[in-house]
């Protein structure tokens, strides 16, 4: 794509004065040069000092760090993004480790809960059910002509916080901020969308400040018809768009992905992105534990879309490593609200079916074969080497569970992945203490290092931000028509290949967050090459893939302006 903004040497615009300053993607604040102030009638609207983007960044960071809460910092950054987009991304890119937890998890959860209170300026699109017949008209606005990536949510299952209605828009905004901050995809190519089909959250409905449609959630046929209207309009408007589903409830997440993945280029980050980062981190952990993938026994708490997605990708990795599908499926122990998934249980979904344990396999685990088999029983009898949590249940990895696991495994691999921090299945401090410092820990949200016997144990943030920005970059670079599961496997392996444990078994499992731009480029290349293998992208050699990726990576810096026309 030759017209993306990072290929421009000069930006031409016909806007001037207040209009120019109030356009977030064009505003440079006090960094407008004296010549630009003459040309665009900015004298008097700006203080006389002509500054630089670095000076502006220092000024914003000083204010940001003076706030007393992360939510205040989140709101400040959202305001900066809506005021001066280039400066926002300049600050984000150069301070990723500090700002990632503010722009996305865990703080974005609170941002969604209070989205109505802090909403100020339009960003993205709210497609509400009463406007079902206007979707095509709304999408037709010329300002969206260049859109290539959409992140959409219906706000029903925001992280582990549940239904946030229209406040769920914070998730698409945050995700797309990382597409730009971590992978360099130009902001003008991105569009956050919230499908406002109502909310069942009484607190939202009774809040006089709530900005969404005040109605209980539309379900069933009405819901499906609304989503179909949306998807059909998107395909008509942007035939080559990449659409990411985000934070849909489990009953809809897998179903919508399967329904539409053959019609457009689409994926669900909760299912596939979570699976890829979990797989990549486990592959990195194998460098430390020495237990090959074929010998791993994996317990997963939470058998919804995320848990099944993780298990499916890891099962495929085991098969690729030489196991039969039957052998691999027996290595998984998925525990849901009704206990371990066992044959004969009611309500087993198609996604869960490959991981159901036979009655013979659990014979002797409990005297009453019909009873609920909990996580502790799984630890005692299955003796898993890996424990993954995607349950949204704070404290679900109890001391008994973790200590029992640690009795049977020298280096237990434990990933409490639920977000935000308040929903984590256990804290890293607990996991390190209960395993006498032996656990390899990865968490969905950032945690501080844990002191243990005179040393500091780094806690890896096993977050989807290592994966989905690079997937998007790779898809766009080669114009992939579909997103395949093997592309996510390629992403997982690319992340694992960059693990510091490749060279040092005592190092962190994942590259540091401040290297996410390099990680995203590596993931993009792996995804782009795999897309060609899978036949969903045109052929091009490795050097051409590198060139295309580089052309898509936008650097947030000010360019000189000229008057259009």
Q: Which residues participate in catalysis according to the annotation?
A: 104, 175
Taking alpha carbons only, the member of 458, 463, 399 closest to residue 431 is 399
Cα 250-252-256 angle, rounded to 5 deg: 130
Using the structure block, give the residue that is written with the tokens 């045109």.
Answer: 538
- Is the CB of residue 409 less than 8 Å from the CB of residue 385? yes
- Is the CB of residue 484 less than 8 Å from the CB of residue 536? yes
d(CA 236, CA 476) in angstroms, rounded, equals 18
Q: Is the dihedral angle over the CA atoms 114, 118, 123, 125 positive or is it negative?
A: positive
d(CA 203, CA 197) in angstroms, rounded, equals 16
d(CA 469, CA 136) in angstroms, rounded, equals 27
Neighbouring-strand partners of residue 11:
561
Cα 241-234-270 angle, rounded to 5 deg: 65
Residue 214 φ then ψ, to 5°: -85, 85
Q: Which two tokens stand for residue 78?
A: 């959202």
Alpha helices in 238-294 (DSSP H): 250-260, 274-289
d(CA 376, CA 474) in angstroms, rounded, equals 41
d(CA 152, CA 244) in angstroms, rounded, equals 6
344 three-state secondary structure: coil
SS3 content of the chain, % helix, strand, coil (to 5): 50, 10, 40
Which strand (E) or helix (H) includes residue 521?
A: helix 516-533
- Is the CB of residue 73 less than 8 Å from the CB of residue 118? no
Where does residue 174 rank: exposed (0-12), middle (13-18), buried (19+ CB within 10 A)? buried
Strands 450-452 vs 455-457: parallel, antiparallel or unpaired: antiparallel
d(CA 325, CA 103) in angstroms, rounded, equals 40
Taking alpha carbons only, the member of 562, 560, 555, 561 closest to residue 187 is 555
Q: Omega before 360 cis (within 30°)?
A: no
Q: Omega before 295 cis (within 30°)?
A: no
Which strand (E) or helix (H) includes residue 21?
A: helix 17-21
- Is the CB of residue 100 less than 8 Å from the CB of residue 419? no
d(CA 74, CA 105) in angstroms, rounded, equals 11
Q: Alpha carbon of 210 to those of 118, 198, 206, 215, 474: distances in Å?
A: 11, 11, 8, 11, 38
Q: Alpha carbon of 473 to those of 178, 240, 467: distances in Å?
A: 11, 14, 10
């Amino acid at each position: 794509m030759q017209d993306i903004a990072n290929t421009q040497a000069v930006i031409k615009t016909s806007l001037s004065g207040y209009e120019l300053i109030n356009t977030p993607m064009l505003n440079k604040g006090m960094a407008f040069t004296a010549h630009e102030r003459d040309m665009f009638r900015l004298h008097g609207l700006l203080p006389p000092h002509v500054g630089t983007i670095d000076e502006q960044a220092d000024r914003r960071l000083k204010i940001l760090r003076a706030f007393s809460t992360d939510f205040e910092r989140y709101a400040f950054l959202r305001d900066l993004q809506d005021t001066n987009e280039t400066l926002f991304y300049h600050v984000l890119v150069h301070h990723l480790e500090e700002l990632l937890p503010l722009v996305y998890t865990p703080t974005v959860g609170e941002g969604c809960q209070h989205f109505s209170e802090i909403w100020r300026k339009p960003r993205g699109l709210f497609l509400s059910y009463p406007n079902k017949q206007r979707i095509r008209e709304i999408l037709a606005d010329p300002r969206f002509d260049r859109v290539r990536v959409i992140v959409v949510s219906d706000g029903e299952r925001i992280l582990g916080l549940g239904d946030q209605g229209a406040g769920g828009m914070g998730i698409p905004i945050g995700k797309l901020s990382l597409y730009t901050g971590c992978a360099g995809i130009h902001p003008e190519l991105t569009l956050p969308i919230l499908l406002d089909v109502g909310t069942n959250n009484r607190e939202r409905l009774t809040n006089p400040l709530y900005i969404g449609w005040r109605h209980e959630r539309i379900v069933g046929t009405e819901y499906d018809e609304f989503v179909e209207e949306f998807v059909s309009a998107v395909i008509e408007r942007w035939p080559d768009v990449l659409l990411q589903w985000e934070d849909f409830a489990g009953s809809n997440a897998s179903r919508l992905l399967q329904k539409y993945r053959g019609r457009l280029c689409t994926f669900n980050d909760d299912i596939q992105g979570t699976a890829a980062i979990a797989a990549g981190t486990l592959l990195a952990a194998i460098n430390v534990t020495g237990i090959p993938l074929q010998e791993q026994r994996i317990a997963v708490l939470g058998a919804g879309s995320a848990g099944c997605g993780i298990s499916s990708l890891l099962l495929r990795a085991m098969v690729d490593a030489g196991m039969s599908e039957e052998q691999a499926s027996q290595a998984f122990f998925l525990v849901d609200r009704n206990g371990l998934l066992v044959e004969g249980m009611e309500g087993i979904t198609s996604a869960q079916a490959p991981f159901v344990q036979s009655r013979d396999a659990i014979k002797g685990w409990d005297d009453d074969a019909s009873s609920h088999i909990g996580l502790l029983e799984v630890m005692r009898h299955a003796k898993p080497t890996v424990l993954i949590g995607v349950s949204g249940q704070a404290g679900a990895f109890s001391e008994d569970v973790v200590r029992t696991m640690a009795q049977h495994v020298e280096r237990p691999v434990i990933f409490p992945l639920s977000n935000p921090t308040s929903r984590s299945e256990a804290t890293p401090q607990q996991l390190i203490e209960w395993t006498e410092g032996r656990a390899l820990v990865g968490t969905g949200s950032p945690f501080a290092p844990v002191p243990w016997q005179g040393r500091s144990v780094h806690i890896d943030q096993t977050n989807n931000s290592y994966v989905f920005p690079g997937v998007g970059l790779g898809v766009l670079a080669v114009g992939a028509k579909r997103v395949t599961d093997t592309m996510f496997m390629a992403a997982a392996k690319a992340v694992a290949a960059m693990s510091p444990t490749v060279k040092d078994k005592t190092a962190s499992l994942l590259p540091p967050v401040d290297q996410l731009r390099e990680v995203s480029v590596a993931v993009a290349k792996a995804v782009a090459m795999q897309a060609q293998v899978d036949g969903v992208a045109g052929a091009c050699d490795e050097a051409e893939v590198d060139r295309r990726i580089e052309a898509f990576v936008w650097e947030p810096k000010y360019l000189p302006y000229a008057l259009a026309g």
